[in-house]
Amino acid sequence: MATKVTPISGFQEWLPADRIAELIVLDTIREVFELHGFASINTRAMETVDRLSGQGEDADKEIYGVRRLAADDTSETTLGLHFDMTVPFARYVLENAGKLTFPFRRYQIQPAWRGERPQRGRYREFIQADIDIIDIGALPDHYEAELLLVVADVFSRLPVGDYRIHVNDRKICEGFYRGLGIEDVTGTLRIVDKLDKIGADGVRKLLLEAGCSDEQADQCLALAEISTADTGFVQEVRALGVSHELLDEGLAKLSAIVEVANEHAPGVVVADLRIARGLDYYTGTVYETMLERDPGYGSVCSGGRYDALATDGKRTFPGVGISIGVSRLLGLLISEEGLTASRETPAAVLVAVNDEDSRGDSMRVASALRARGIPTLVAPKAAKFGKQIQFADRRGIPFVWFTGADGHQVKDLRSGDQVAADAASWTPPEADLHPSLVLPTSGE
Amino acid sequence: MATKVTPISGFQEWLPADRIAELIVLDTIREVFELHGFASINTRAMETVDRLSGQGEDADKEIYGVRRLAADDTSETTLGLHFDMTVPFARYVLENAGKLTFPFRRYQIQPAWRGERPQRGRYREFIQADIDIIDIGALPDHYEAELLLVVADVFSRLPVGDYRIHVNDRKICEGFYRGLGIEDVTGTLRIVDKLDKIGADGVRKLLLEAGCSDEQADQCLALAEISTADTGFVQEVRALGVSHELLDEGLAKLSAIVEVANEHAPGVVVADLRIARGLDYYTGTVYETMLERDPGYGSVCSGGRYDALATDGKRTFPGVGISIGVSRLLGLLISEEGLTASRETPAAVLVAVNDEDSRGDSMRVASALRARGIPTLVAPKAAKFGKQIQFADRRGIPFVWFTGADGHQVKDLRSGDQVAADAASWTPPEADLHPSLVLPTSGE
Q: What is the domain count for chain B? A: 3
CA dist A209 and A418 (Å) reads: 77
Cβ neighbourhood burial of A393 (10 Å; 0-12, 13-18, 19+): middle
Residues B24, B55, single domain; the answer is yes
Q: Give the closest-approach CA distance of B61 to chain A in angstroms.
A: 5
Residues A232, A373, single domain; the answer is no
Residues B179, B259, single domain; the answer is yes
Residues B90, B169, single domain; the answer is no
CA dist A327 and A120 (Å) reads: 11
Q: Which residues of B266-299 are buried (b: 16+ CB within 10 A; e: fewer)?
A: eebbbbbbbbbbebbbbbbbbbbbbbeeeeebbb
Residues A371, A421, single domain; the answer is yes
| Record: contact A80-B100, CB cut-off 8 A | no
Residue range A174-226, pLDDT digits in tens:
999 999 999 999 899 889 988 988 999 999 999 999 999 999 999 999 999 99
CA dist B376 and B371 (Å) reads: 10
| Record: contact B260-A360, CB cut-off 8 A | yes
Q: Give the closest-approach CA distance of B64 to chain A in angstroms.
A: 4
B7, B69, B101: residue with CB nearest A80: B69
Q: Which of A343, A362, A342 is nearest to A410 (CA)?
A: A362
The alpha carbons of chain A give a radius of gyration, in whole angstroms, of 27
Residues A256, A368, single domain; the answer is no
In a domain, A254, yes or no: yes
In a domain, A49, yes or no: no
Least confident of A47-56, B103-112, B210-219, B370-379: A47-56
Residue range B4-51, pLDDT digits in tens:
787 888 999 999 999 999 999 999 999 999 999 999 999 999 999 988
CATH at residue A425:
3.40.50.800
In a domain, B99, yes or no: yes
Residue range B84-139, pLDDT digits in tens:
999 999 999 999 999 999 999 999 999 999 988 889 999 999 999 999 999 999 99
pLDDT of B444: 43
Q: Which residues of chain A have pLDDT under 50?
A: 1, 443-444
Query: Which residues are within 8 A (CB) of B257 and not within 5 positions of it... i.e. 6 or more apart?
Result: B144, B145, B148, B167, B269, B285
- Output the average pLDDT for chain B: 93
Cβ neighbourhood burial of A299 (10 Å; 0-12, 13-18, 19+): buried
Q: What is the mean pLDDT of residues B248-258?
A: 97
Q: ipTM of this model?
A: 0.95
The residue segments making up the domain with residue B149 are: 14-67+76-154+314-341
Residues B184, B146, single domain; the answer is no
| Record: contact B380-A41, CB cut-off 8 A | no
Residues A412, A272, single domain; the answer is no
In a domain, A93, yes or no: no
pLDDT of A72: 63
Chain A's closest residue to B30, CA to CA, is A346
User: Is the confidence at residue B249, as pLDDT, over 90?
Assistant: yes
User: Is the confidence at residue B190, as pLDDT, over 50?
Assistant: yes
B5, B79, B367: residue with CB nearest A94: B5
A5, A48, A67: residue with CB nearest B64: A67
Residues A34, A125, single domain; the answer is yes
Residues B150, B241, single domain; the answer is no
| Record: contact A1-B105, CB cut-off 8 A | no
In a domain, A89, yes or no: no
pLDDT of A5: 80
pLDDT of A75: 54
Q: Give the closest-approach CA distance of A35 to chain B in angstroms.
A: 4
User: Is the confidence at residue B77, as pLDDT, over 80?
Assistant: no
In a domain, B184, yes or no: yes
Q: Give the closest-approach CA distance of B216 to chain A in angstroms.
A: 31
User: Is the confidence at residue B57, as pLDDT, over 60?
Assistant: no
In angstroms, the Cα distances linking B79 to A397, B45, B46 are 38, 10, 6
Q: How many CB atoms lie within 10 A of CB B195?
A: 18
